[in-house]
């Protein structure tokens, strides 16, 4: 155990602590992590600007940062850490400004022990388990990573960091607090919020299903969209998760409203299979557009239109007396698209550009109408 002076605070039934942690305590106790997915292509490493005089050892720092599906922090912004490290050095040299005057927010899965001092129920000594990774950063991860980077560089950083520490929050509460703090003030990426909401922010089955389907399309080795979706809104890929998830949630809500529990139940069971086969069928229906660079078939607008007409595709497959989720049935259902729209419909500098005049929303609506009409 390490022991630090602390103040106990209670707000609306939630108890937490205010204390100071040394840079050495942070290195020993804090686990740095970001939300990430295994099974997909390796994340693209951010590039430093040519001529950058960064003194941060990025290879060493990145080894300290773990990536998991149970995390909630966004990918690390190198530029931000570099700027903070530079600022800390300036504060140290000048001696006229505090480097980290604002409190970082830290959570723990293990309980602390608080012992009040005589005569003060809210002031005392806080005991924290002395285990590496026992603490996780809810707010202030970049500030602490920059501090850690200086320690790694061999620079003496003898400062005390003000911290707010929680040891009673469950996973749902932690993520809700994280999104509340970050969604507006730091412009948390919409795709990042989709991943959190679909997984554990709140139990919305349609949000969760949309997230799982899109993740499957991005992670499955057989998917024509493998590695093409920016699941957290950053990195490689041609389209962000958020607009696709928005379209899918609207689709699921409509199916539930119109078709009832039986219809949405069937779709929820087979959604991953259907959309994986559906995208495969689209890729072979428009092979030149799908493989070519000068086409816009993999843009958010085009994919949203394809999602929007998916109920029509299922209905057409059923008219052919086939399994609506089967790859061959879907390919037969959308055959008319190859004959009536053809690859050239998606040429970026051709027909696509002409119909882009109405804006993104107009493009989705126009393409949806064309796809729907071609099925009849």
- Each of the 376 residues of the chain gets a pLDDT tens digit; together they read 899 999 999 988 889 999 999 988 888 898 888 776 544 334 444 444 433 455 667 776 677 777 776 676 767 778 888 888 888 888 887 778 889 999 999 999 899 999 999 988 999 999 999 888 899 988 888 888 888 888 877 777 788 999 999 998 887 788 778 777 765 555 556 666 666 655 555 567 888 889 889 989 999 999 999 999 987 666 677 788 888 988 999 999 999 898 888 888 999 899 999 999 999 999 999 999 999 989 999 999 999 999 999 999 999 999 998 899 999 999 999 999 999 999 999 999 887 876 665 555 578 999 999 999 999 8
d(C-alpha 271, C-alpha 267), whole Å? 5
- For residue 319, tell me if it sits in a domain: yes
Domain co-membership, 116 together with 210: no
Alpha-carbon distance of 242 to 339, in angstroms, equals 31
- Of 182, 217, 245, the position where a domain reaches its end is 182
* Structural domain count of the chain: 2
Whether 322 is in a domain gets the answer: yes
Return the number of other C-beta atoms located less than 10 Å from residue 272's C-beta.
18
- Residue 198 domain-assigned (yes or no): no
- Residue 136 C-alpha from the chain's centroid: 18
| Pick from 316, 306, 204, 211: nearest CA to 256 | 204
Does residue 227 share a domain with residue 172? no
Residues 162 and 291 in one domain: no
In a domain, 188, yes or no: no
The span from the CA of 85 to the CA of 157, in Å, is: 11
DSSP 203: -
Half-sphere exposure of 50 (CA within 13 A, CB side): 0
Among the listed residues 225, 182, 229, 178, the one whose alpha carbon sits nearest the alpha carbon of residue 37: 229
Same domain, 210 and 312: yes
| Torsional sign, CA 316, 322, 327, 332 | negative
Give the H/E segment covering residue 104: strand 104-108
> Which structural domain, as residue segments, surrounds residue 359?
203-375
Task: Yes or no: say if 371 and 306 are a contact pair by the CB < 8 Å rule.
Answer: yes
d(CA 25, CA 226): 42
Q: Are residues 312 and 279 in the same domain?
A: yes
């Amino acid at each position: 155990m390490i022991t630090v002076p602390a103040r106990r605070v209670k707000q609306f039934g939630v108890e937490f602590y205010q204390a100071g942690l040394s840079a050495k305590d942070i290195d020993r106790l804090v686990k740095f992590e970001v939300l990430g997915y295994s099974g997909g292509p390796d994340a693209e490493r951010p590039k430093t600007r040519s001529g950058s005089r960064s003194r941060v050892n990025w290879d060493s720092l990145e080894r300290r940062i773990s990536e998991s599906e149970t995390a909630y922090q966004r990918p690390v912004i190198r530029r931000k850490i570099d700027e903070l490290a530079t600022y800390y050095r300036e504060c140290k040299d000048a001696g006229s400004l505090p480097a980290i005057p604002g409190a970082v927010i830290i959570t723990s899965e293990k309980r602390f022990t608080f012992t009040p001092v005589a005569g003060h129920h809210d002031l005392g000594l806080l005991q924290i388990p002395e285990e590496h990774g026992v603490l996780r950063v809810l707010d202030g991860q970049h500030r602490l990573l920059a501090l850690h980077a200086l320690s790694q560089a061999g620079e003496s950083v003898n400062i005390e960091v003000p911290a707010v520490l929680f040891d009673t929050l469950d996973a749902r509460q932690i993520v809700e607090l994280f999104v509340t703090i970050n969604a507006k003030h730091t412009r948390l990426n919409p795709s990042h919020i989709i991943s959190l909401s679909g997984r554990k922010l709140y139990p919305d089955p349609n949000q969760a299903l949309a997230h799982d389907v899109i993740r499957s399309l991005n992670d499955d080795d057989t998917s024509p969209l493998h590695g093409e979706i920016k699941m957290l809104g950053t990195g490689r890929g041609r389209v962000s998760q958020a607009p696709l998830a928005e379209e899918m949630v609207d689709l699921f809500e409509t199916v539930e409203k119109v078709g009832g529990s039986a219809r949405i139940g069937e779709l929820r069971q087979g959604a991953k299979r259907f959309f994986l086969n559906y995208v495969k069928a689209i890729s072979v229906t428009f092979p030149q557009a799908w493989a070519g660079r000068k086409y816009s078939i993999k843009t958010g607008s085009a994919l949203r239109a394809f999602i929007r007409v998916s109920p029509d595709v299922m209905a057409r497959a059923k008219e052919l007396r086939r399994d609506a989720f089967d790859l061959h049935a879907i390919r037969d259902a959308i055959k008319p698209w190859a004959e009536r729209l053809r690859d050239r419909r998606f040429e970026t500098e051709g027909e696509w550009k002409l119909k882009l005049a109405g804006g993104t929303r107009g493009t989705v609506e126009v393409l949806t109408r064309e796809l729907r009409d071609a099925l009849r």
